[in-house]
Amino acid sequence: MSAPLRLGTRRSALAMTQSQMVADAVSAASGRDVELVPIVSEGDVNRASLSQLGGRGVFANGLREALAADRCDFLVHSLKDLPTLQPDGLVIAATPAREDARDVVVTRDGAPLGALPPGSRVGTGSPRRIAQALRHNPRLDIHDIRGNVDSRLARVRDGELDAVILAAAGISRLGGDLGGLHAEELGLAEWPTAPGQGSLAVETRTDIDPEILAALAQLDDEHTRVAVTAERTVLSALDAGCSAPVGTHAAIADGDLRLRAIVYALDGSHRIGIDRTVRLDTGYAREPGSGNDADAADDGGSITRAARVGREAARRLLERGAADLVPRESTT
């Protein structure tokens, strides 16, 4: 009988829940048992704010070290926390179908973010969410917070905060119970989220048993991989860290890959945005009012085209002054 496969995961309730979902799917695909191997990451013990931690892979490095040392066979990451530079010897074997990519504002009474009164205390540790919240309502009192979903919700329920901003996917994967609180779902057109938000990444070693790699690959969702490739390419081409004030969202509709990317000033006072569309079956890319974009034509596959449209979006954002708004990172 084959030994169980070992899945490395962070220890938080959300990470364990996500990982168990993947473990069950891999077990069904491989016919082998899968056991979770909890691993402590730097981000779990370092209580500095996300803006200080930057894009150094603090939620991924410890897991990747365990994988490289053969303490586990594969990993499950929240893709939005994963640096865009892929380490030698490791490969993203699958990106399962994406959950809801939106952010939600959670309050006690259901008041929308834009209607919260001056001085309302809103908790988030994300520079992007801070910038977006202040742009929607400059009168807010933003509190830089860390912690798991339950602890953040408790701070609203107990009256310490008036609202928190969270990922819809995390709430959904934990069962969706807000304990009597109310959620305002934020539309992706005006509130694009972190590149890869709502998506998971299944990572393994390049030298793993081909049968294991094939089992992991069965979890891959092509539409998700194409969309997150475009989003993460924007972040990489901007040379911005995972916590930079950059919101992106890409989706496939009627054979088109549609990408929206916005870079924000940290105080929300200014933003630079762009929309790009690429026709996946022909490589024909266009932007409203721009006519044909010959430089976006691509003879490669959908992933190659997604990366190209991401690079093109980043180039145009930089031409419009995005470099003045984005803290640069050399280790994304």
Query: Beta-carbon neighbour count of residue 49 at 10 Å?
Result: 15
**Tokens of residue 106, six digits:** 């959670």
> 32, exposed or middle or buried, with CB in 10 Å at 0-12, 13-18, 19+?
middle
Positions marked catalytic: 81
> 7, exposed or middle or buried, with CB in 10 Å at 0-12, 13-18, 19+?
buried
CB 198 within 8 A of CB 101: yes
| Tokens 């901007």, residue located | 238
What sign for the dihedral angle of Cα 132, 251, 82, 86? negative
Q: What DSSP line would sit under 146-197, residue for residue?
A: ---HHHHHHHHHTTS-SEEEEEHHHHHHTTS--TT-EEEEPPTTTS--STTT
Q: Can you tell me the distance from the alpha carbon of 81 to that of 56, in angstroms, rounded to the nearest whole number?
A: 10
Q: Is 151 helix (H, G, I), strand (E, B) or coil?
A: helix
Given strand 163-167, what is the order of strands in its sheet? 141-143, 121-123, 163-167, 103-107, 182-185
Q: Can you tell me the distance from the alpha carbon of 205 to that of 69, in angstroms, rounded to the nearest whole number?
A: 10
